Amino acid sequence: MTKIDSELFAQIADLHDVPAGAYNIRKNGQLVGRQNSDGIVIESKADKAGINIHIKDGTVNKSVHIPVIVTETGLNDLVYNDFFIGENCDVLIVAGCGVHNAGDEKSGHDGIHTFHVGKNSKVRYVEKHLGIGKTKSQKILNPTTVIHLGENASLTMETTQLGGVTHSIRTTKADLEKGATLEIKESILTERDDFAETDFDVALNGANSKAHVISRSVAKGNSKQVFNSKIDGNNICFGHVECDAIIMDKAQVSSTPALQNTHPDASLTHEAAIGKIAGEQIIKLLTLGLTQPEAEEQIIKGFLK
């Protein structure tokens, strides 16, 4: 493993060694390591690039790591990963992709992840993205996540774009059955001329289903961010979307909510705030001895947590 490989794996998946439990590690479009564990089986797809992850009923306190890195210029990696999670499970799934591009051609990764979560199961899904290398090189990441939540199932999705990704379109679609709960926490940092688009589409189909979407973003330089969210309330349900963004320099951020109520007892809400760092926050940190750049960095770090 090279120094660059180690840096990418550490930042996108907090891996400093071979992970415990089940894992599937991919580099430059090729499998470099795989391990199953008790209750979790990973197998390659027969018809296209990607894997099937089978988690049997009653599997609890287990983890799956599936990080991907791309370090070749001109490579666009595409994978289809499907998670089949049985009933009464409680598992952690850690994904993430890091791209190092030192050349002039585009490099990137498109991951299409589909979750089938069984009755009463609980999933925490963590996904981090990072681009490093030549400043002006194209580092493209387009994740697609499709979530099917069964009765009383829950999924918490934590996605973070750490920086350096020049272009990304993040698409998440979900449908929830009776009593299911979806919580999404998104953090995005864009700089220079980066572009990032987020599209959420959630269908609350089951009685007493719930969805809570939280997006925090910072846009610097000449970067542009677009946030689109759509929630359909098709039963007695609750859905809420929060979009908060800090803009700096000449960056632009737009937020477009869409709430559709097809049931009289659906409760759907949305709130958005887009603006600059408050002056009093900067002043307070300056009085503590920080420079203005240091103060801004501390505020940004706290905001994106």
| Paired strand residues for 60 | 90
Domain range list for the chain: 3-304
- Per the listing, tokens 């698409």 go with 171
The pLDDT value recorded for residue 283 is 77
CA distance 48 to 29: 12
Structure tokens at 30: 């090729």
Contact predicate 102/137, CB 8 Å: yes
The pLDDT value recorded for residue 299 is 86
- Per the listing, tokens 């920086």 go with 163
The pLDDT value recorded for residue 100 is 97
Measure the CA angle with vertex 216, ends 215 and 221; round to 5°: 125
The pLDDT value recorded for residue 278 is 75
Structure tokens at 212: 């809570």
pLDDT by residue for the chain (305 residues), tens only, comes to: 899 999 999 999 998 888 889 999 999 999 999 999 999 999 999 999 999 999 999 999 999 999 999 999 999 999 999 999 999 999 999 999 999 999 999 999 999 999 999 999 999 999 999 999 998 899 999 999 999 999 999 999 999 999 999 999 999 999 999 999 999 999 999 999 999 999 999 999 999 999 999 999 999 999 999 999 999 999 999 999 999 999 999 999 999 989 999 999 999 999 999 998 877 878 777 888 888 888 888 888 888 88
